[in-house]
Amino acid sequence: MNLTVFGATGGIGREIVRQALGAGHRVTAVVRDPARLDVTGNTLQVFRTDLTDPEELRTAVRGRDAVLSGLGARSRKDAGVATRLTRTVLRAMEAEGVRRLLVVSAGPVGPAPEGDGALDRAMRGLVSAVLKDVYTDLRGMETELVRSGTDWTSVRPPRLQNKPLTGRYRTAVGGFPRQGRFIARADVAHAMLAMIDDAGTVKQGVGVAY
């Protein structure tokens, strides 16, 4: 497949690029600073942009089979970037008629798992309070997805870890895995790549966790 990856220098974005290249896909990595991308490959194209102009991004998404995005706030002070930058990506995609889009959101943005215990509910409430502005931003991003004409999927992980790829995790379309507390960034990337051709995840939020 011919893929474009936004946020390619972030933890999940870099893993998407690495795994996609390893699987034989052609990848366009969209970055602000190419020096921060430490992934290489014969089928890798690096596209430098500040992500503010949808017209400029049209070249990066033109003719692609799918677009995958790891864009989002790195801290509370960055809250708002996920909605703003995703809106720019959506405009470029719609202008080029590219439909498939997968983005990274977060578990607390979606519904709570049925039957979760008191500890998990308390942890979810605490994290949601501490990162309120970040999750408000991600909800805004998901609202933009729903309003768009794309075939979107919002992938919602819990707490992220820098651990090796396992390929073993649980997913819940429209929900979240019970007692799903952690997942490696590498496995989130793996899940996103696996969902590209999964029609059951189109226009859905998908919880993913160990």
- Residue 191: pLDDT over 80: yes
The more confident residue out of 120 and 42 is 42
The pLDDT assigned to 41 comes to 96
Taking a C-beta distance cutoff of 8 angstroms, is the pair 112, 176 a contact? yes
pTM: 0.92
In percent, how much of the chain has pLDDT > 70?
A: 91
The CB density around residue 80, as the number of other CB atoms within 10 Å, is: 15
Taking a C-beta distance cutoff of 8 angstroms, is the pair 52, 15 a contact? no
Average pLDDT, the chain: 93
Confidence of residue 118 (pLDDT cuts 50, 70, 90): confident
The CB density around residue 42, as the number of other CB atoms within 10 Å, is: 6
The more confident residue out of 198 and 111 is 198
Domains, in order of start, for the chain: 2-209 (3.40.50.720)
Partner residues linked to 101 by β-bridges: 67, 152
Residue range 124-183, pLDDT digits in tens: 766 666 678 899 999 999 999 999 999 999 999 999 999 999 999 999 999 999 999 999
